[in-house]
Amino acid sequence: MIQVKVRPNESLDEALRRFRRKVRKSGLLQQIRQLGHYEKPSDERRRKERLARKRSRRDAEDTSTAAPRYGV
């Protein structure tokens, strides 16, 4: 369970912002959404393959732009 204790001299809005950030980083909402309905094994496989392609494409772009080429 995610907990956030309100620090001294901290407004409730700031504590709520920290709580929301922790929830987002933990992936809890995404997991709840996925478990909210049944996903066929074939659909799950397709989704995971699509995410892997997207991830590899993004990583390839990151490595290609990471080192600038001079004199080319």
- In-domain check, residue 48: yes
- In-domain check, residue 5: no
4 contacts: CB under 8 Å, gap ≥ 6: 15, 18, 19, 22
pTM: 0.53
**Look-up of token digits 């809890």:** 28
- In-domain check, residue 19: yes
- In-domain check, residue 70: no
Q: At what angle do helices 28-35 and 12-26 cross, to 10 degrees?
A: 60
Given a contact cutoff of 8 angstroms between Cβ atoms, the answer to whether 28 and 36 are in contact is no
Question: Cα–Cα distance between 66 and 32 in angstroms, integer?
Answer: 35
**How many domains is the chain partitioned into structurally?**
1
Residue-number span of the structural domain to which 23 is assigned: 12-64
pLDDT, tens digit (0-9, with 9 covering 90-100), for 16-69: 999 999 999 999 998 888 888 898 999 999 999 999 999 999 988 877 665 666
- In-domain check, residue 72: no
